[in-house]
Each structure stands twice: as C-alpha cells, then as structure tokens.
Structure 1
Amino acid sequence: MSIVTGAPEGTTRRAKRLRSTPEEARRLILETAQSLIASTGPEGLRLQDIAAGAGISHSLILHHFGSREGLVRALTRQAVAELRDKLVAAIASGESLVEQQLDRVFDAFRDGLAQRLAWLATVDSGGGAEGTQMILRDIADRLHARRLAAAPPDAVIPRDDTDSLIHLVAAAAFGDALFGAQLHRSAGLPVTSETDRGFRRWLAALIRAHSTQKEG
C-alpha cells in the first residue's frame, strides 16, 4: 500500500509507467544500463538486471530496443555522441596554446567514457566503429581548417598530416584514460597529476615542433 496515494505499490508503479513518454522510458533504460556498466563492466548488461534497476519490465526494454544487441548499439551511439560533443568543444574552444587544447582532449576521455567505449566494443565489435570513424573525420576536418587559417599563405599542410595528428592524440588520450596509471607505474613514474601534465607538455612540444616544420 502506498502511504501517499493509498493505492497498492504495484498500482502506483504501473501508473508511473503509463505517464512516462517513450523518450523518458528510453532515457531511463539507457541511464540505468550505463550505471550498471560503470559498476560491473560489460557483464552488467543483462536485461533482467537493467529492468530491475530501472523498476520496469523486461518486455519494455525489448519494446524500445528490440534486443540486447539493440540496446548495446544505442549505448554505443550515446557514448560516441558524448565523445564527439566533447571533442568538438575542445577544437572550438578558441584556446591557442597546444597544452590547453590537449588538456581538453584528454579530459574528454575521462570520467569513465573511455572505459565505457572500450567495454561496449567488447560486446558490440562492429556497431560503434563507423560512428567513431565519423567522429575523427569530423574533428580532422575542423582541425585542418584551423591549421590552414593560421598558416602563412604559402604554407602547404597535407590533409594526411592532420589525420595523423588526430590519430596520435586520440590514441594517446584514449590509452591514457584506460591505462595511464598502470603505464606510469611500469615506467617507474609516480601516479600523480604532475606526471600527467608532464606527458601532455612533452606531447604538446612534439606537436608544436612538427607543426612549425610543416607550416614554416
């Protein structure tokens, strides 16, 4: 019995379900699934656990996503879109220092996003690949336009050079978010924010020297 409404608990829950819009239901399912992934990894993607955590029926998940695979694809698209938004913001930030731009790019992969993308890749080997490729292509387009605008009129900056820079930075940021602490320990380095900053400064100097050579 509900203390607030005087109705049985099951009736109250069913009423809440009826009032939920399809968008709200999808968002609730995705948020619950994302929380389970964060706490348990890919093995947390069991529909019965998601249904229990969200307080909904197993059939409602199937109604909105069709299958576990459909839910995984939706989670992958969500994670890819989140990464894209963060990377676009980093490129569009207007910060001129390479160090500042690298900070924003590395931070984009933090807060569990890199882990989520990696875990989802283990259960959806192809579903997010195309979306991730499109992200990097979009980011490369934006960065290449900025490099051309900032370069001297007679400078020649090949597009594949920008693509390689994007690949280098994305691989470094993604790997750092996943294994940075372990790699620091294996190299005998302290696991501190100063170690992180030191690596980013080194990478920034490498990129700056390379860009100066290309644009000079």
Structure 2
Amino acid sequence: MSIVKFPIKGEAVARKRLSPEASRLAALEAARDILVEAGPQAVTLKAVAARIGRTHANLLHHFGSASGLQRELAAYHAESICIDIGEQIHRFRGGDIGPRDLVDMIFDHFDKAGAGALAAWMLLSGNEDALNPVVEAIHRLVDEVGEGGHEDGNLHKLTMELVLLALGDSLLGGPLSMSLGLDRGAGRDIAAERLAQSFAAWQALQNQ
C-alpha cells in the first residue's frame, strides 16, 4: 500500500519558481518576520533561506552578504514604516486620532516591530552605512507631510525628537523607567505631550 505524502503548508509556495524581484521581496518579508520573532542577530542568510525554501547561494545572489541583507531589510522596513506613519499623520491632522495614538504607532514600530533593535545591531556590528536608507526615508517623509516641504524646520526638529525618543525607548525604556520609578509608558507620555504642543503651535500658525 503506497503512502500519499501531502505537502507541508506553504511548501508549494516556497518552492514555486519566482521572479528575481518576487524572490527578493519574499526574502525581505521573511527577514522582517524573523527580526520580530527572534531579534536582529537571528536575521542571517541561512535562516531567511530556510524560511522561504531557498538556498544560501540564492540569497547570496540577491544580497551579496549578511550585511547586504541587513542593509536592504533596513531600507525595506523603513519605507513601510514611513508609509504607515505618513498615513497616520494625515489622520492625526484631520482629527481622526490623537497625539498618543500617533506616538504609540511610531514607538511600536521601533519596539515591537524591531526597528530600534535592528538599528542598534547594525551600528554595533559596524554596518553604519546600512542606516542611510532609513535616514533618507524619514527625510522624504518629513518633506512630504510638511507644509513647507524641505524648509519646514520645525517639523524636522520634531521628527528628530520623536525618532530619537522612540529609538531610545525601544532600547532602554523598560529598565530606565523602572530605575527611575516611572511608568513604562513615560517615554510615550513625554513624546505625546511634545507632539500635542507642536501641533497646537502649528494650528495657531495656520489660523493666522
């Protein structure tokens, strides 16, 4: 009696022939999942290849090295984060969400989605150039949502403040708030208060 072997869920998809761009995108999505699940140190060519049913050589062809994979993951992650933030900023300005809602979304990207840990890992591993696409994506976002485009210096300063707060909170927010006897959400409270003040000033200018 022959035994019928059914494919493991996802196996057929993983082994299906993909275009180079589709294969690259699948690898980046898998890398992002691994980042969230196990941290940046787990994002290796071998791990990503195993996740999508490809070979190590195939990933080398697309990214060249582990640092190349990290670089493209950072750019891919930053682009998707900035798109999300841009949409939420428009909702915030329209009154659909409040300052804390926007801050929570930004902080969650750096904390739960792993952007902060990835940035720190790349810096510590000497892969500083990989952060350039992240900085560029944030810069484009600021120019797109700013009323004065590139000349909107106040928005640039606020963005830098929020990003640094979110990055710092994702790395040290837990132990630092505990050490100082503050609530774990203290960093988010500070950022939300700062955002509310900045938005009130922006509204005042618009009404002049």
Q: How high is the TM-score relative to the length of structure 1?
A: 0.69
Q: Mean alpha-carbon deviation: is it higher for 115-124 or for 164-173? A: 115-124
Question: SS in structure 2 opposite 1:190?
Answer: coil
Change (3 A) 1:30 1:137: closer
Cα distance per residue 1:15-52 (max 9 Å; x no partner):
96353333342233223333333344333233233333
Which of 183, 187, 197 in structure 1 is aligned with 2:180?
187
Distance in 2, Cα, partners of 1:185 & 1:32: 34
Counterpart pick for 2:90 among 92, 109, 112: 92
What's 2:40 paired with?
Answer: 42
Q: Deviation of residue 85 (structure 1)?
A: 0.8
Look up the SS of the partner of 2:102 in the other structure. Answer: helix
Which one of 188, 198, 205 corresponds to residue 207 of structure 1?
198
The offset of 1:172, in angstroms, is: 1.9
Question: In 2 relative to 1, CA 23–51 (structure 1 residues): closer, same or farther, beyond 3 Å?
Answer: same
Is the alpha carbon distance of 1:214 and 1:50 closer, same or farther for their aligned partners in structure 2, counting shifts above 3 Å?
A: same
Alpha-carbon offset, residue 89 of structure 1: 1.0
2:150 equivalent to 1:141: no
- 1:88 positional shift: 1.1
Greater shift, 196-205 or 54-63, is seen at 196-205
Quote the residue 2:55 is aligned against: 57
1:131-185 residue CA offsets vs partner (Å, 9 max, x unmatched): 233233223324431xx6xxxxxxxxx7333322221222223323333222321
Greater Rg, structure 1 or structure 2? 1
Identity of aligned residues (%): 23
What CA distance in whole angstroms lies between the structure 2 residues aligned with 1:138 and 1:44? 30
Q: Which stretches in structure 1 are left out of the alignment for 5+ residues?
A: 149-157
1:101 positional shift: 4.1
Distance 1:165 1:43, change over 3 A: closer
- Shift in alpha-carbon separation, 1:26–1:184, aligned structure 2, 3 A: same
Cα displacement string for residues 85-135 of structure 1 (whole angstroms, at most 9, x for unaligned residues): 122112222535598245324413413233334334444211222x23323
- Aligned position for 1:151: none
d(CA) in 1 for partners of 2:14, 2:51: 15
Deviation at 1:83, TM superposition (A): 1.8
TM-score when normalising by structure 2: 0.71
Structure 2 residues not aligned, in runs of 5+? none
Counterpart contact for 2:174–2:184, Cα < 8 Å: yes
- Aligned partner of residue 130 in structure 2, secondary structure: coil
